[in-house]
């Protein structure tokens, strides 16, 4: 089955493709089909994910998958939240992982409460007007470090420390991240829903 991923993030595509491989799902980015990115006007991951999934399905005529994810920091009232990818631009800085991380550290300077979590909302639709979208959430709890650690991953991975593992997300290998992350947790739930509702992995499933 081919699913359009409502994202042009190559690293996110690689992560999700590995997670959905067990069901024989092939992900293609919307950009490879010439589909522009959707607007993300909402304040929740689920609403933005649903908007992106419906947009990609309508433009492609194919089932679509959207991933809306980000970092929620307790001391910042849940920010950067849905604005995680462009957090630095709120303060007149350029949009980049490096600037986002720099701004986050500045905002938490002198703050003792470093609790935070990665949040992922995965939304899948069979068509643009699918009345029964599949929605799965995953959360990965940790603490924000005072300096970046690790070379892997992307986004805020170098700053989120997972106490139970004793290292940052960026210091984990891809195999461990694909097994433990917020995206992995959401994917496991969504795969279960796809097996039950879309009958994927069974003879005669939708191709």
Catalytic residue IDs? 68
Residue with tokens 């699918």, as numbered in its chain:
130
b/e map 6-40, b = 16+ CB within 10 Å: bbebeebbebbebbbeebebebbbbbeeebeebeb
d(CA 62, CA 186): 22
In the chain, which residue ranges form alpha helices assigned H by DSSP? Answer: 10-20, 45-60, 97-107, 174-180, 182-193
Contacts 24+ apart (CB under 8 A), 144-150: 144/73, 144/104, 144/105, 144/108, 144/114, 144/116, 145/114, 146/105, 147/105, 148/101
CB 4 within 8 A of CB 60: yes
- Residues whose CB falls within 8 Å of the CB of residue 96, separated by 6 or more in sequence, listed in order: 88
Please report which helix (H) or strand (E) contains residue 203, including its range. Answer: none
């Amino acid at each position: 089955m081919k699913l359009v991923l409502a994202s042009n993030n190559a690293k996110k595509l690689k992560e999700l493709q590995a997670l959905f491989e067990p069901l024989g799902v092939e992900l293609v980015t919307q950009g490879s089909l010439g589909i522009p990115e959707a607007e993300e006007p909402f304040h929740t991951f689920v609403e933005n994910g649903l908007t992106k999934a419906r947009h990609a399905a309508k433009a492609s005529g194919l089932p679509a998958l959207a991933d809306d994810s980000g970092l929620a920091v307790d001391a910042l009232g849940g920010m950067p939240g849905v604005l995680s990818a462009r957090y630095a631009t709120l303060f007149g800085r350029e949009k980049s992982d490096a600037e986002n991380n720099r701004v986050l550290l500045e905002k938490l300077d002198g703050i003792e409460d470093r609790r935070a979590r990665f949040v992922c909302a995965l939304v899948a639709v069979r068509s643009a007007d699918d009345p029964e979208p599949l929605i799965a959430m995953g959360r990965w709890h940790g603490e924000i470090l005072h300096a970046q650690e690790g070379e892997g991953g992307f986004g805020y991975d170098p700053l989120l420390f997972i106490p139970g593992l004793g290292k940052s997300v960026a210091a984990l290998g891809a195999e461990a991240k694909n097994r433990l992350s917020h995206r992995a947790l959401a994917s496991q739930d969504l795969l279960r829903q796809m097996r039950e509702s879309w009958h994927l992995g069974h003879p005669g499933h939708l191709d």
